[in-house]
Chains A and B, each alone.
Chain A
Amino acid sequence: MKEVFSMFSYFLNFHFIIMVFIGAMAGMLVGAIPGLSVSMATALLVSITYTWPTDYALATIMGVYVVGVFSGAISAILINIPGAPSSIVTTLDGYPLARKGESYKALKYATIYSFIGTMFGFAALWIFAKPISNIALKFTPMDYFLLAIFGLSTVGSLTSKSFIKGILSALLGLIVSMIGLDSVMGTSRMTLGIYDLKAGVSIVPALIGLFGFSEVLSVISKGYLEAEASHITKSVIKIKDMLKYFSRSLYYCTIGTLVGALPGAGGPVASFLAYGEAKRIVRNPPVPFGEGEIEGIVASESANNACIGGALIPMLTLAIPGDAVTAIILSVFYVHGLQPGPMFIKSSPEMFHSILAGGFIGGIFLLILGLFIGPRISKIITVPKRILLPLIIVLCVVGAFGCNNRMFDVYLMLFFGTLGYIMRMRDYPIAPMILAIVLGGMMDSNFRRAISLASSEDRFFAALFGRPITIILLILTISVIISNIPTAKKKILYKS
């Protein structure tokens, strides 16, 4: 009971609420503007909040994190450029809806279910922090490796008509992730003698290039440079219709929270898995998935926002960040002299409660800003493309430079943008490549760690695949791959 009072006391702290609001407004802007990322904004906040009291710093960062993850959906819906990797899936159904003139409806559903996802995630963080971290602790390196393969194969099968092209896109991303110093031995790999590549390919320029610049080129190549005819028209959506997806959204939230709790597999994997589940559960949707089905937005947005609470679980209890933003939040803890880990909740309960309160209040601001400010930001699509596209290129340049303050990243962004454009023209999906770039390093180190550990055992294969969690993940991965082999796919379709 004391814990509950301690957490809710922040709801009466005016300064604390203002700090969350400032963060929420900043998150709304950086998330909605293509080329600016939540991780970049959070990184900036680390230096700005250095002298602030810790709970105020955490309040602002929680506001940016919660609303920034949501507002990535605004640009995903309106201009088909996800503001954050976790909003990639939202583009699949959000943008087709916007093209049909129903962007207001798409935004409203995205807001409501992002709010539900956020509340679910933070409630889960509050209730299940300890038990979930205990499960995550039992994962071996091979489990992490298989989980990443499972994520990549699911993404490959979901985002392209051709599974082979999806997988090749992921493999290309893995090659990119191998560039730079290897994390185990410190050996320089595939740098082609370029000094700036020694640090590897940063995710931010690659993301901005593949999603921002390539989208600009793609639109230019299609020649549609006039203003979008579809204006935002407000429509009344009944609460009954709105909450039609509520029960299933809890399932997507559960996926999001669980995936978020696993280090490395953050929002993008969560939303892809939830989207895959939505496609599996809803067999006959009113609108096909990928063409503007609301369930697709519900699945993606519930899962990626629920992921926030999940990602904080290993960060707070194990000091292992779940994604890029939690990695930056971890540095805020160290800057303020806090020590996350198994003892954190016991030793600093007030900080744990300030994070929870920041998350819950951030969720409320998400709802308010999403419903009232979100549709107004949507006016961006009425700007003629011949004016909007050059502005997006400038933002892409600023965003790519901002991650490391070096021009090399800007050129990398241009390279990935051109590559992304060629891939789009040839029907290769971009999403598996980005996910592979994010997960590649983790996959490499865990694979080698798993092989090293198993080779010291008497029974090599039993040591690698003998554990129940590993067996389950292996079966899941193999079943995804087999179900996408053309012959097997035909048989499944024939049976259904």
Chain B
Amino acid sequence: MKEYKLKDYITNKGIQEGIIFFTLSISLILYSLFNHYNAGRIEWRISPYLFPLLIAVFILPFSLFLLHYGIKKIKSKSETKDKEGSTILKTNVLVTVALSVLYCYFITFIGFVPASVLFLASLIIYLKEKRTWLIALISLLFSFSIYFIFAVLLNVMLP
């Protein structure tokens, strides 16, 4: 009889997603029940926790199906390969998210235009654009144009 390693289960997408949705469902059921009974004498028909409970109950069978599907895939050895691409490309995504978070963080300190210029220049450089004049031109022109159109012409608040 074939033995299945723990790694097979941990790396299986169906099982991963099944566990996430199962945990979400159980947490939401507990949250709804706990808060409903703590809220005092509110009938279920008008309770604010009725609809979240209903959603959680619906998620439960679907999460079990995902788990079942994942186990079935492991046993039939037909798990498809990860489509997320190479490590370099995954790193690109992580760097983009990190730069975006830093950009939003710095906007509040140094203002929209300087933060946008720095963000645009750094991300365009990271994505391997080599023409320095183009990087400088786009970063400056775009940031000032956005500022002019929104803040000056339309009186829209910018971050």
Contact B124 A451 (CB under 8 A): no
Contact B107 A407 (CB under 8 A): yes
Question: Given that A221-B89, A391-B120, A410-B104 are known contacts, is A184 also in contact with B46, CB under 8 Å in the complex?
Answer: yes
- Distance, CA A451 to CA B47, complexed state (A): 11
Question: Given that A220-B127, A389-B127 are known contacts, is A189 also in contact with B96, CB under 8 Å in the complex?
Answer: no
Residue of chain A at shortest CB distance from B139: A390
Contact A394 B120 (CB under 8 A): yes
| Contacting residue for B127 out of A171, A386, A398, A426, CB 8 A | A386
Interface residues on B, range: 35 or more
Please name all residues of chain A whose beta carbon is closer than 8 Å to the beta carbon of B65 when the two chains form the complex. Answer: 164
Contact B51 A223 (CB under 8 A): no
- Distance, CA A397 to CA B123, complexed state (A): 15
Contact B48 A184 (CB under 8 A): yes
Contact B55 A174 (CB under 8 A): yes
Residue of chain A at shortest CB distance from B83: A425
Interface of A is mostly: helix
Please name all residues of chain A whose beta carbon is closer than 8 Å to the beta carbon of B142 when the two chains form the complex. Answer: 391, 394
- Distance, CA A417 to CA B49, complexed state (A): 28
Contact B159 A425 (CB under 8 A): no
Contact A401 B116 (CB under 8 A): no
Contact A178 B93 (CB under 8 A): no
* Residue A447 lies at the interface, judged by CB distance under 8 Å to chain B: yes
* Residue B3 lies at the interface, judged by CB distance under 8 Å to chain A: no
- Distance, CA A175 to CA B21, complexed state (A): 12
* Residue B148 lies at the interface, judged by CB distance under 8 Å to chain A: no
- Distance, CA A234 to CA B60, complexed state (A): 52
Contact B150 A414 (CB under 8 A): no
Interface of B is mostly: helix
| Contacting residue for B89 out of A44, A167, A223, A401, CB 8 A | A223
A-B CB contact pairs (8 Å), 19 listed = A184-B48, A217-B96, A221-B85, A221-B92, A221-B93, A223-B86, A223-B88, A387-B124, A390-B123, A391-B142, A407-B104, A410-B159, A411-B101, A414-B97, A448-B46, A448-B50, A448-B51, A451-B45, A452-B45
Residues of chain A touching chain B, judged by Cβ–Cβ distance below 8 Å, are 44, 164, 167-168, 171, 174-175, 178, 182, 184-185, 187, 189-190, 213, 216-217, 220-223, 225, 384-387, 389-391, 393-395, 397-398, 401-402, 405, 407, 410-411, 414, 417-418, 421, 425-426, 443-444, 447-448, 451-452, 455
If A44-B156, A386-B128, A387-B129 are given as contacts, then 4 extra A-B residue pairs at C-beta distance below 8 Å, sorted by A number, are: A393-B100, A394-B120, A398-B158, A402-B150
Residues of chain B touching chain A, judged by Cβ–Cβ distance below 8 Å, are 13, 17, 21, 24, 28, 31, 35, 39, 42, 45-52, 54-55, 58-59, 62, 65-66, 83-86, 88-90, 92-93, 96-97, 100-101, 103-104, 107-108, 116, 119-120, 123-124, 127-129, 134, 138, 142-143, 146, 150, 154, 156-159
